[in-house]
């Protein structure tokens, strides 16, 4: 779905230099996603080839980068203007949106986020993320964020604040549970 949205955005001359990085959650999907990218008519650069030096930046004039390495998601987030959190336009529960929000990135996700209900609720209540219902709304929302960086910045800042306000929640919960247990 994200490839279709990207294709629509690229048709607009305003977004001719737009780049897409797709990072599959599971390594066993790397080749499948690579095929989806090339079958959609886009050239593909595998990040693993850039990282290993098999491909240089001069050779990397491709449009879509496949994040086919482990442990580099934060690097991709740091370079992004806007982050769409996958597995959320279909009933798969979504992926973790906390990391992108914590890094101050305008974070967008679909309606299927049951794996992260509380985080989603907190982010949406604070206008710290954007929830879209489908592919068309995703396209329009991305367009708005790219055309209006101040709008995207406000969303990103609010999201970062939500995550910052909730830091230490696990430790607080553990301390509270321990205080309720009988002392031996």
Measured CA to CA, the distance from residue 97 to residue 119 in angstroms comes to 8
Is there a domain that residue 183 lies in?
no
Number of separate domains in the chain: 1
Name 26's Cβ contacts closer than 8 Å, sequence gap at least 6. none
Is there a domain that residue 14 lies in?
yes
- pLDDT value, residue 40: 94
Is there a domain that residue 67 lies in?
yes
In this prediction, residue 166 has a pLDDT band, given cuts at 50, 70 and 90, of: confident
Average pLDDT of the chain to the nearest whole number: 92
The verdict on pTM exceeding 0.85 is yes
Look up the CATH number of the domain holding residue 33. Answer: 3.40.50.2000
- pLDDT value, residue 162: 97
Residue with tokens 């934060």: 74
Q: Show the domain range for 76.
A: 2-175
Is there a domain that residue 180 lies in?
no
Length of the chain: 184
Q: Pull the structure tokens for residue 45.
A: 């650069």
Task: Give the mean model confidence (pLDDT) for residues 106-125.
Answer: 95
Is there a domain that residue 91 lies in?
yes
- pLDDT value, residue 175: 80
Q: Is the pLDDT of residue 49 over 80?
A: yes
- pLDDT value, residue 62: 63
Is there a domain that residue 43 lies in?
yes
């Amino acid at each position: 779905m994200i490839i279709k949205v990207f294709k629509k955005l690229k048709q607009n001359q305003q977004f001719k230099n737009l780049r897409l990085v797709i990072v599959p959650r599971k390594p066993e999907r790397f080749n499948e996603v690579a095929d989806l990218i090339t079958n959609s008519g886009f050239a593909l650069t595998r990040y693993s080839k850039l990282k290993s030096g098999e491909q240089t930046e001069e050779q990397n004039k491709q449009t879509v980068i496949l994040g086919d390495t482990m442990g580099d998601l934060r690097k991709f987030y740091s370079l992004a203007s806007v982050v769409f959190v996958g597995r959320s336009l279909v009933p798969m529960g979504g992926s973790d949106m906390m990391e992108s929000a914590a890094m101050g990135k305008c974070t967008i996700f679909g309606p299927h986020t049951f794996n992260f209900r509380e985080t989603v609720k907190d982010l949406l209540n604070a206008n710290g993320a954007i929830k879209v219902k489908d592919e068309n709304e995703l396209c329009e929302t991305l367009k708005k964020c790219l055309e209006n960086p101040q709008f995207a910045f406000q969303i990103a800042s609010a999201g970062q604040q939500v995550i910052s306000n909730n830091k230490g929640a696990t430790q607080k919960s553990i301390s509270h549970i321990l205080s309720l247990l009988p002392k031996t």
